[in-house]
Amino acid sequence: MQQLLDKIKAYSAEIEAAAVKSKDELEAFRIKYLGTKGLVKTIMGEMKDVAVEQKKEAGQALNQFKNFVEEKFDKLKQFEASIVKEKQDTDLSLPAPDMPLGTRHPISIVQNKIISIFNRLGFAVAQGPEIEDDWHNFTALNLPENHPARDMQDTFYLQEEPAWLLRTHTSSVQIREMEKGVLPLRIICPGRVYRNETISARAHCFFNQVEGLYIAENVSFADLKQTLYFFVQEMFGQEVKIRFRPSYFPFTEPSAEMDISCLICGGSGCNVCKKTGWVEILGCGMVHPQVLENCNIDSEKYTGFAFGMGIERIAMLKYQVKDLRLFSENDTRFLDQFVAAV
Ligand code: PHE
């Protein structure tokens, strides 16, 4: 009798640990333990060897064991069925779910648009280094040492003597191109620039510019006006108006700032245009003869115009973005909105 109980105990542990992964394994379990020649039946057969006075106790233990095995079999059966269902629910022939596509950065979208407009007018893209020397960023642009206008642009210096700095504008690229001496010259210079400014909704320590330069014989201010007028019409729509205000840049003479009629209120006055109906978008002017001479260009023979604008500013107007910082924070909730723009 004790032998029988020990056997039941040992088998119970084995059965408790049993697991199945398929219908075949489930059937193997059934045959091994519950089949006509299975373990339960075999042990039941051993009842005959148990002493009469112990038959009741042994019978109870055997019944309990039989129930336990049957319950285990039911559990395994359910488990096996759930695996089958899971396999059916997973249709492996279905195409994989879509991966979200990345989007172009609004600054790239606007920059590409600006480039394509000027390309159509014959301007080629020129690029230069972001780390500049004093000559290309300042001196050649008619900003000699101690010139007060250097304070207009708070410069990040990497080294004082000789000066290495982060370019404060892409006018430095224009100098590099003029120094090559191939004329006439018609280029735009897109790129990142740096200024030591406190970061706010309207200013940043780095931003992107596109500057333009056209040098040939008989280039006039009228050419500059017409070029920029064409640009803003292509960029903002045919109905946009422009106006020029006299200004000062050391590298251009005369110099001007160009405003466009406010796109938000159409000129009647709102917060964006500070109730004036106009918003400033760029600086421009006729290249100063001294700048041409600094690059060994004959200023008697050649004239030229130059202009420069911030891409962020154009993008803010185009998309009505009120905070400049959004462009460099990489928040995809902001960036994802520009999928189909421009
Ligand atoms: N370089 C000027 C700036 O960064 C822009 C400019 C370019 C103005 C060319 C006039 C002519 O602010």
pLDDT in tens, the chain (342 residues): 788 889 899 999 999 999 988 889 999 999 999 999 999 999 888 888 888 888 888 889 999 999 999 999 999 999 988 888 877 778 888 888 888 778 899 999 999 999 999 999 999 999 999 999 999 999 999 998 888 767 666 899 999 889 899 999 999 999 999 999 999 999 999 999 999 999 999 899 999 999 999 999 999 999 999 999 999 999 999 999 999 999 999 999 999 999 999 988 888 888 888 899 999 999 999 999 999 999 999 999 999 999 999 999 999 999 999 999 999 999 999 998 987 544
Measured CA to CA, the distance from residue 207 to residue 332 in angstroms comes to: 19
What residues have CB less than 8 Å from 338, skipping those under 6 apart?
Answer: 103, 104, 105, 106, 109, 319
Burial of 158 (0-12, 13-18, 19+ CB in 10 A): exposed
Is the beta carbon of 155 within 6 A of some atom in ligand 1? no
According to DSSP, the β-strands at 157-159 and 131-133 are unpaired
Ligand 1 within 6 A of CB of 167: no
Say what the pTM is: 0.72
Distance 296 CA to ligand 1 centre (A): 21
Distance CA 8, CA 108 (A): 76
Q: Which residue among 169, 209, 291, 303 is best mutated to probe the pocket of ligand 1, counting the most ligand atoms within 8 A of its Cβ? A: 169
Best substitution site from 132, 154, 171, 258 to test ligand 1's pocket, by max atoms within 8 Å of Cβ? Answer: 171
Residue 61 amino acid letter: A
Q: Whose CA is nearest to atom 5 of ligand 1?
A: 308
Cα–Cα distance measured from residue 144 to residue 127, given in angstroms and rounded to the nearest whole number: 24
Q: How far is the CA of 342 from the centre of ligand 1 (A)?
A: 25
Cβ 207 vs Cβ 192: under 8 Å:
yes
Residues counted in the chain: 342
Does the beta carbon of 258 sit less than 6 angstroms from any atom of ligand 1?
no
Cα 312–273–331 angle (5° rounding)? 35
CATH topology of domain 106-341: BirA Bifunctional Protein; domain 2 (3.30.930)
Nearest-CA residue for atom 7 of ligand 1 = 308
Return phi, psi of residue 85, to 5°. -65, -40
Strands of 157-159's sheet in order across: 131-133, 164-166, 157-159
Sign of the C-alpha dihedral computed for residues 131, 135, 141 and 142 taken in this order: positive
Compute how many other C-beta atoms are within 10 angstroms of the C-beta atom of residue 217: 10
Structure tokens at 118: 């000027």
The full set of domain ranges for the chain reads 2-89, 106-341
